Amino acid sequence: MGLDLSCGSRWSYGGFMRFRRRLCEAAGLGDLESFEGFTESGGRNWDAIGDPIVPLLDHSDAEGFLIPDWTLKDYFGKASPQPPWVGSIYIRFYGGTMAERLDGIVSKWPEDDYDREQAGHLIAALECGEAVEFR
């Protein structure tokens, strides 16, 4: 049992949490567990952080999507039927540099690192404009 992303990335739930802790530290944001949703006492507000990696750090462990901005603009700009993920309360938007930011962080990790390998699948999907589903 664990987290499977539609792009092929896979982590156990505990492994995904460790990955996000590691990513938060490496991004210079400090302790992940000092933020809202990760502490009992409210924590730091994600909205105050202007880093494109935030939607990945603050994402549900088991459901929802990461969706490239240009994909959303493409769909919302047309009269055609909207994709099934539009309107989901779990949709997370990001500024288009998430893949670059993620790559910039994990590329410094050892090449045989499991988290780096799994992040590579996510980066490739985001760079291609794919909506990545958490399931």
* Tens digit of each residue's pLDDT (9 = 90 or more) over 44-76: 988 778 788 888 898 888 787 877 664 545 545
The parent domain of residue 52 ranges over: 3-134
Record the pTM: 0.79
Q: Are strands 91-93 and 64-67 parallel, antiparallel or unpaired?
A: parallel
User: Which pLDDT score is estimated for 75?
Assistant: 47
Q: What is the pLDDT of residues 71-116, one digit of tens each?
A: 545 545 544 445 554 544 334 444 446 888 899 999 999 999 999 9
The count of domains in the chain is: 1
Residue found under tokens 């539009």: 86
